[in-house]
A = this chain, B = another copy of it.
């Protein structure tokens, strides 16, 4: 490719609405162009990256036995009504009407359509397992699209759906996809982590997220450097920090703590570590028609944070909400800040975090303004609580696999694998006849990769003050040949042309910058665009039979003999 025949358009400054590094650099490098909120054109440079990502995804999906198809972007409402998602999904599901006033949606994913295809195509267990995937435009009408294509409305996603005879088969299919994802992200050349995840709203019984590691990531990832344990913050299990409850030593004492409504302030006032305090969080669940709400008191150590996903898994709390101040006053006789499990006015259900359950002589609110209780002990002062894992893990916690201590890093979610079970197949009656001629629902899994999101995530992980630094596998070009004086020096032109041609002939994705820009402008453009390898051809070097090579992360250029440069670059790309 010659730059003069390509479309290169770089900017000195990013537009004001670009908030994060990847968005700024993509705009400056001319990779995307905004058309509307969360809607972007992929310019030629950006599209090349997307195509390389797609190709790797496609090759590994095919290798894993998945079969590609393409489902419509505009989908009739009926199927979405059949699974209930038409009603359940909020306005992020964009609905529209055709000329005959029939309802349609723009696909955010395709569970309904693929299940519809499979229920008419599959009759027998002999046709299973089956894994169908597409790489296709998706639309989610985000309330607040931002971060460029990281959280856009129109985006490209690879979505795959597996169909199996039984749960065991589904787990095999799931594992194949998990392994394929590992290969895919390895081939991208990105630092990533597969983490156990909570299933969230989609239902089912198991899932993993794939995160590109980046300090700017929105998600906290918990992992154990000494083992392969990794989970997202929602799913990471927190073990009790106190292994065994110590015997009570203090008497239960009503202690004045005027104006000290926070654990930190109480600990400071009392001269005790924060780890001795317990905080009270009040939740509510709706009772039966006409009944008042059930009030729940969740207890966490003063320095810990509630994990709402974990709370929602406590039996009875699936649909919890935070209690209102009126409910709190009515139940405890005091406003928040002085609450505790002892002496509440109305019946409450107490759930203690695993760590709190093993604490003794702890401090909590007295259910009386400006008072706390010290020397509180389970069993002696109040009944044994219901115990659950309620908190977010923190750095240094013991790993749940017993193999070390947990660390936390930031990640950007770019892939997700789910075990769906029969959530969709049961709703849509996607069944098959088993070996005994009995009708069974298919066991499904679904597997997504955010193709366009990976572009942003890759940049968040790989950039410097000069621009993007692409891993070669997904770079818009692997090598740029920069001639200095292409239009003035015949020797430079001849050598640059030859090196470019030889690289192309060797299957290297090389671009020759024949635009005639000054070296400073030329180098700055390619550093901004992030091409990983650069070869500079100039008269001075050629006199000594040399050209300059510089990797995008290298501090300095090195001299390489003209005769060796193609081999040099090929070797670097092969490594």
Contact = CB atoms under 8 A, between A and B. Distances in A.
A50 B120 CA distance: 23
A169 interface: no
Interface stretch (A38-46, A213-221, A321-329, A505-513): A38-46
B67 A6 contact: yes
A99 B69 contact: no
Point out which of A6, A36, A91, A117 has the most chain B C-beta atoms below 10 A from its C-beta: A36
B132 A7 contact: yes
Interface string A63-94: 00101111111111000000000000001101
A39 B77 CA distance: 13
A44 B67 contact: yes
A65 B5 CA distance: 6
A106 interface: yes
A527 interface: no
A137 interface: yes
A292 B23 CA distance: 61
A71 to B, nearest CB: 5
A230 B91 CA distance: 52
A69 B39 CA distance: 14
B74 A47 contact: no
A9 interface: yes
Contacts of A67: 5-7, 44
A346 interface: no
Contacts of A69: 7, 41-44, 47
Nearest to A41: B71
A47 B61 CA distance: 15
Contacts of A117: 33, 41, 43
A97 B141 CA distance: 10
A41 B94 contact: no
Interface string A130-173: 10100001010101000000000110000000000000000000
Nearest to A99: B91
Contact of A154 (B6, B73, B121): B73
Contact of A139 (B74, B92, B116, B154): B74
A21 to B, nearest CB: 23
Contacts of A130: 7
A432 to B, nearest CB: 14
Contacts of A76: 35-36, 39
Contact of A98 (B40, B75, B141): B141
Nearest to A39: B72
A50 B70 contact: yes
A99 B89 CA distance: 13
A293 interface: no
A511 to B, nearest CB: 12
A96 interface: yes
A74 B106 CA distance: 10
Given A91-B99, A113-B41, A35 B141 contact: no
Interface in A20-65: 33, 35-36, 39-44, 47, 50, 65
Contacts of A96: 94, 96-97
Contacts of A41: 69-72, 113, 117
A75 B35 contact: yes
Given A36-B76, A96-B96, A98-B153, 6 more contacts: A5-B65, A41-B69, A41-B71, A44-B69, A44-B132, A74-B139
Nearest 7 A-B pairs (CB), nearest first?
A96-B96, A91-B99, A42-B70, A36-B76, A7-B67, A41-B71, A39-B72
13 contacts: A7-B67, A9-B121, A35-B113, A39-B74, A41-B70, A41-B71, A42-B69, A74-B94, A74-B106, A74-B154, A91-B99, A92-B99, A98-B153
